[in-house]
Amino acid sequence: MPETFTRDVVIIGGCGRVGLPLGIALADRGLAVTLYDINERAVGVVNSSTLPFDEEGAADKLTRAVGTGRLRATTDPASVAAAEHVIVIVGTPVDEHLNPNIGAVPAAIERCAGYLRDGQLLILRSTVHPGVTALTERLVARLGRDVDVAFCPERIAEGKAMTELFELPQIVASRTPRGQERAEKFFRTLTDQIVPLEPEEAELAKLFTNTWRYIKFATANQFWMMANDAGCDFERIRHAIRYDYPRAADMPGPGFAAGPCLFKDTMQLAAFNNNNFVIGHSAMLINEGLPLYVVSRLEAAHDLSAMTVGILGMAFKGGSDDTRESLAYKLRKILMLKAREVLCTDPYVRDDRLVPLAEVLDRADLLVIAAPHPEYRDLETGKPVADMWGLTNRGVRI
């Protein structure tokens, strides 16, 4: 590391669910890492060696890294000047019209523009709309800085960062040979498997990956609704299709397809293709409409207006405490219009509106499993349970 840099890495947006695990992993490999974040509370939590969310295997590594000084968090943008590698991890949302906010990443860089220095490597880690890497390159050129730019998208599944950051191949893309070489060398700190691409190819690779998953989930959900309307158990059908038949082995089961990435990135890809993305928009209608379908089935079988309905699980996926874009909250809103009372519970989520599982099981007349937490597996209750996940071993019909 050149003598002018006192830290190896600074991560902009470093105290979130993507930045913090990355920072912990890099510090665990011996790098000096600074997490720059505008959220003062999040910075304080990290500096107290407290993991602010569930991430398997990260808590002990965080304590060790903070204790040795290899990892520290700050709200001071001047920290950007101290590091050779600057990694940008900020959200890239879609607006109320489902159009991507292409200015989120440049805006984050501009807030720190005065602290960028010659000789740095600027790595974009966020999922971005195609063209944002080129936009960043032009921004750096206008600033007159000799800074290499690379796009290296994160590929981890939430909760698996401490294994997948080291095991999964890393896509690395830079416009120049020097930038490519530096970015590949940096990520070999974590993994030996590097996949080189051009920046625009890498941007599309990340969007294609998330959109492919979203479309697969939509297909499974549509199949489930077809079978369900015909009075058939889709899980029995799916088992028969997949049994010793490799060409259907990746068919997922039904369930809410939510979270901060899949829907958003599908809409980004649609915007990139001038909204000519029929299969993507169809997937959105299926997945986002699933709570409405579930309630319509319950309404056909029960007098919801006279019932207390319990929703089990408010996170967007099983075993997680993350509620971002969770369709369980959409389910709750719909049921509040239909049922006498709605009670919600989750063993991982911190929310003052939630009640203990025992109370929900006692008071509810009807239960809906909205997140496939292992705590609901083989749930013993004499009350009707709507279980599209098949956790209760009674099939997936509703």
The CATH architecture assigned to 7-197 reads 3-Layer(aba) Sandwich (3.40)
> Is the confidence at residue 96, as pLDDT, over 80?
no
pLDDT digits (tens, 9 = 90+) for 350-363: 999 999 999 999 99
User: Hey, where are the domains in the chain?
Assistant: 7-197, 205-386
On whether the CB atoms of residues 369 and 312 are closer than 8 A, the answer is: yes
The answer to whether 7-197 and 205-386 have equal CATH topology is yes
pTM for the whole structure = 0.93
At 104, is the pLDDT very low, low, confident or very high (cuts 50, 70, 90)?
confident
Is the CATH number 3.30.460.30 carried by domain 205-386? Answer: no
pLDDT band at 379 (very low <50, low <70, confident <90, very high): confident
